[in-house]
Amino acid sequence: MSEYSGHENLTMMVSCHNFNNWMYQEILPGLKGDILEIGSGLGVFSEKIIHDFPNSSITLSEISTKYVADLRNKFSQKRVTICKLDLNKKEDYEQIGYEKFDSIFALNVLEHVENDTFALKQLYQMLRPDGNLIILVPCHKFLYNVIDHQVAHFRRYTEKELVQKIQSSNFKILKTFQFNMLGILGWYVNGNILKNSSVNNSATKVFDKIIPIERIFEKILTKKIGLSVICFATKS
């Protein structure tokens, strides 16, 4: 698997300001204290947490050595640390440190990890007591298609499967909900029907413009169905 397998899609999503802000607002309530971001990528969410948590130590992490170098060039604040982290390599966790963080979040990362249960158990150890874990992953197995394969997804989750794996790592589940209902249609048509191996750039731009409307609909429908599932858990 190339560490840049999702680079094209990641670059495209940088300009989706409405979508990224929406996703960030959904996970923001679980963030506190010293924060570890898993899979910082191009730093879209890194910028937000650095701005919103001025008194916190922030650790950004990436499996890609190129992204690590780019993040170090982009963020030079003393309270920001950038580390290489392969979620299936114990030595990477040990180098960063255990019982070091008050909150850890990973957005669209766990599906790229072959041994996701091992990763969750290591993240549990990296949290301090009462620390929070926020995970966002793609859901609905019937949606697995050529796009997932192209960006090296090992799986799509069911909400039940994600909860069971997080609980088996000793976390206490606080809440779960699904996210991005309209994204299901676009993902299914583009990848399952048309067999396109990448996200459509033009469609993505249109989608980003209607995010404010989608947010209203999802509040009404109480977040029961979506392209992704979000889980908040804590180390009890």
| Domain assignment of residue 2, yes or no | no
Joined together, the tokens standing for residue 193 give 């029907």
Q: What secondary structure letter does DSSP report for 152?
A: T
| Domain assignment of residue 91, yes or no | yes
Q: CA 101, 40, 180: angle at the middle one, nearest 5?
A: 100
Band of pLDDT at residue 6, cut at 50, 70 and 90: low
pLDDT at 119 over 70: yes
8 A C-beta contact, residue 191 and residue 147 = yes
| Domain assignment of residue 79, yes or no | yes
| Domain assignment of residue 1, yes or no | no
What percent of the chain has pLDDT above 70?
Answer: 97
**Mind listing the pLDDT tens digit for each residue in 123-159?**
999 999 999 999 999 999 999 999 999 999 999 999 9
8 A C-beta contact, residue 128 and residue 235 = yes
Question: Which residues, in sequence order, are CB contacts of 83 under 8 Å at separation 6+?
Answer: 59, 60, 61, 62, 68, 92, 95, 96
* CATH at residue 27: 3.40.50.150
Q: Which domain holds residue 102?
A: 7-234
**Mind listing the pLDDT tens digit for each residue in 161-183?**
999 999 999 999 999 999 999 99
Question: 167 versus 8: which is more confidently predicted?
Answer: 167
Mean pLDDT over 194-208 rounds to 90
Q: CA 96, 98, 233: angle at the middle one, nearest 5?
A: 110
Mean pLDDT over 39-49 rounds to 97
At residue 110, the 3 state secondary structure works out as helix
pLDDT at 3 over 90: no
Specify the number of domains making up the chain.
Answer: 1
> How far apart, in Å, are the Cα atoms of 233 and each of 36, 47, 169, 179?
15, 23, 11, 17
Q: What global pTM score does this model have?
A: 0.94
Question: To the nearest whole number, what is the mean pLDDT of the chain?
Answer: 94
